[in-house]
């Protein structure tokens, strides 16, 4: 079992897609084991996206991510890091495979609905960024 961090970005929240996107993840047998709404300050967004500092889209990205509330969650499941990245699709919806979340819902390469950790190492760091240990839970999925 792996854990990964997912953020439902401002465009997901303001278009009323929170439930739709969580439903996709739950439908693929991932458990939501932590869930919280945040409104990041610009400084927090800059810290979270520090790896992108200096890139031409950095200011737009941090301004956008701090523009309205977002939903952070930890998902748990088999090969969660890679599988969730596959489910969300490429960064730019023009390059995202048909049927992926970004292919279906992203507005453009900036407002692309969802963030997901890109490796086990970044998942661990990103989960710690948003959640305390006691805010993360564990349960078994039951079908009945
Ligand atoms: N060329 C770009 N133009 C505008 N925004 C971008 C661009 N590249 C990336 N972004 C934004 O920065 C976020 C982080 O970039 P990156 O880590 O490369 O993509 P991903 O979210 O797929 O891991 C993207 O999800 C997107 O919101
Ligand atoms: Mg990334």
CATH number, domain with residue 28: 3.30.70.141
Structural domain harbouring 72: 2-132
Flag whether 144 is in a domain. no
Tell me how far the alpha carbon of residue 115 lies from the centroid of ligand 2, in angstroms. Answer: 7
Mean of per-residue pLDDT scores for the chain:
97
Q: What's the pLDDT at 143?
A: 80
Name the residue with the closest Cα to ligand 1, atom 27.
110
Quote the pLDDT of residue 144: 75
Q: Is 77 within a domain?
A: yes
Tokens of 14: 């303001």
For ligand 1, atom 16: residue with the closest CA: 91
**Does 83 map to a domain?**
yes
- Does residue 33 lie within any of the structural domains? yes
The total number of structural domains in the chain stands at 1
For residue range 83-126, what is the model confidence (pLDDT) as tens digits? 999 999 999 999 999 999 999 999 999 999 999 999 999 999 99
| Residue 126, domain member (yes or no) | yes
138 part of a folded domain: no
Task: Return d(Cα 87, Cα 26) in angstroms, integer.
Answer: 12
CA dist., res. 61 & res. 59, Å (int): 5
With a Cβ cut-off of 6 Å, ligand 1 is lined by 52, 57, 61, 91, 109-110, 112, 115, 118
46 has a pLDDT exceeding 90:
yes
Residue 50 domain-assigned (yes or no): yes
Examine residue 121 and state whether it is found in any structural domain, yes or no: yes
Q: Which ligand is nearest to the CA of 84?
A: 1
């Amino acid at each position: 079992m792996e854990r990964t961090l997912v953020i439902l970005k401002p465009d997901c929240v303001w278009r009323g897609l929170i439930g739709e996107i969580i439903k996709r993840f739950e439908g693929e047998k991932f458990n939501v084991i932590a869930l919280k709404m945040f409104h990041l300050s610009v400084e927090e967004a800059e810290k979270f996206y520090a790896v992108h500092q200096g890139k031409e889209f950095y200011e737009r990205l941090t301004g956008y991510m701090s523009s309205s509330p977002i939903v952070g969650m930890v998902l748990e499941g088999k090969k969660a890091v890679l599988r969730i990245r596959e489910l969300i699709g490429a960064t730019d919806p023009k390059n995202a495979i048909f049927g992926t979340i970004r292919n279906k819902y992203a507005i453009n390469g900036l407002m692309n609905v969802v963030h997901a950790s890109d490796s086990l190492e970044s998942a661990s760091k990103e989960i710690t960024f948003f959640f305390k240990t006691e805010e993360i839970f564990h349960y078994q999925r039951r079908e009945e």
